[in-house]
Each structure stands twice: as structure tokens, then as C-alpha cells.
A = this chain, B = another copy of it.
Amino acid sequence: MVDCRDRGLQYGDGIFETMRVRSGQVRLLDLHLDRLYLGCRKLRIEAPARPNLRRELVHLAGHRQDGILKLIITRGSGPRGYRPSGNERCRRIAFLQSLPGGGSDDEAPVRLRVCTTALGTNPALAGLKTLNRLESVLARAEWSDARIWDGLMRDADGNVVSGSMSNLFLRRGATLTTPLLDRCGVAGVMRRWILQHAGDLGLRTAERRVRWSDLKSAEEVFMCNAVAGIRPVRSIAQAGGSTLKFGRRETADRLRSLLDAQ
């Protein structure tokens, strides 16, 4: 239970991380903490000292061999009004949950669709995983077909930005491209890890605007997030339109092997 006056509930004034626990340890914990503290700095939320929070998360993860650890950090409770009083004390709320679908990591290629709900442009919040997630909720409510793993979201200019709960990569030759997230979208921790490690596999990386035509000319497409890892894409269906199909998955597989070996 949480205080009704918590600004996380009142205004979505906070951030969160959804982390994968494997063998009692948080995968990519330090990348999660990097993003979390970046978010707190940008929102000017006074987060707990990093070593202490890290210790808490390590301790919590130890309670479960395999699962999901979600951490919400809000600015805390305060008086009415948008303006933080400065006297709020940040609140942290942790959830330890089992993995959906039995717990084993699925590696099969996934189907995507293209969402109608657009991502709004907001440079001040772009990249952060804030508690303002209504766009993802609306996008994810667009389909109920369980065979569709995620939906691609575009910005108002039609650029492809991300999935509703995952980030997008395309490969053409030896170049991995992922959409630039300077105006909207969540800069996922797994995306970060891939950008850091693609060079180990001899791949160049680029963050830039991605158009539908880039998807058409891609040799391989994959999605990623901290919980599901890296998933090859087999198809992307447009509403009432054509379906793009992809047959290759070697980059996704090599990256996943590298990730699992860590």
C-alpha cells in the first residue's frame, strides 16, 4: 500500500526499472542504476545513495532464482499542486515477480504489428522510463492477439521509434541501426548493452531516425528489453497493409550468446 498523496500516483512524478533476475542476480544491474540515477537527476528527485540502493536490490534479487524485479522511485508525498515543495522524501517501491510463461527464456522469432497510437515528442523526458506511460498503455491496448509480441510505435512525423515495451534494432551489412531517442521513447537498458557490445562482434552502430523504408531494406530486425532479452523479428504487420517478413536472426543469436556468457 502507498500513500494516496504520493506524487507518483498524483502526477506520475517518478521513474521505474524493470529488471531480470537470473540465478538470484540482477542482470545488467549497473546499467539499470545508470538510467535510474539519470532519470532522478533530470527530474530532480533526490534518490537514495547508489551503494545503498544497489545493496538493497542485490539483497531482494537473492530471494528469487529467476524472475522480475521492478523498482519504482517516486518523488514521495507532498502537498497539492504541481510544484515540488522541496520537502518530499523519495519513495521506493519494489516488486519481485515470477516470469510470465513458465520462466524459461524464449528465443523464437516474434511477430510485430504497427500501432496507431503515436509517441508524443518531449525532449525533456525522452529516453527516461518515467511513470508517465499512457502512450504505451494505449498502444498495447490496440491488439489482443497473443501471437503478436509487441507493436511498433511511430512519432508524429512517422519515424519508427520503438516497440510499446521494447527497443528496435535493424541490421544491414555490418551496421546495426537503432532509432535515436532524443525526442521520445524509452532508452532501454538492453539497447544500451547492445550498443556497448556490438563492436565485440565486428558490428558498427548508428543511432538515427528510422523510416519505414529502412525496415523494408533491413536484412535482419530484432527487438530487445531487459526482461525478454533479445528477440529476432519474423514479421511486422501494418494495419490493413502489407506484412514485412524477415528470415535472418544470426545477429540476434550472436548477441544473445554474448549476453548469456556474461
Contacts and interface: CB of A to CB of B under 8 A. Distances in A.
Contacts of A217: none
Nearest to A18: B80
A131 B10 contact: yes
B93 A4 contact: yes
A94 to B, nearest CB: 9
A193 interface: no
Contacts of A82: 133, 136-137, 139-141, 164-165
Interface string A68-91: 101010100000111110000000
B9 A131 contact: yes
Interface stretch (A26-34, A114-122, A208-216): A114-122
A84 B8 contact: no
B134 A83 contact: no
Copies, count = 2
Interface in A208-253: none
Contact of A1 (B4, B16, B122): B4
Contact of A135 (B4, B117, B122, B141): B122
A11 B137 contact: yes
Contacts of A122: 118-120, 135
Contacts of A165: 81-82
B12 A133 contact: yes
Interface in A17-46: 43-44
A140 B83 contact: yes
A111 to B, nearest CB: 16
Q: Chain A contact residues (Cβ within 8 angstroms of B): what range? A: 35 or more
Contacts of A10: 16, 72, 131, 133
Contact of A121 (B7, B120, B124): B120
Contact of A2 (B2, B16, B44, B133): B2
A3 interface: yes
Contacts of A199: none
Nearest to A68: B80
B136 A43 contact: no
Contacts of A120: 120-122, 125, 184
A194 to B, nearest CB: 22
Most buried by B among A16, A81, A95: A81
Contacts of A12: 11-12, 131-134
Interface of A: 1-13, 16, 43-44, 68, 70, 72, 74, 80-84, 93, 95, 97, 100, 117-125, 130-141, 156, 164-165, 184
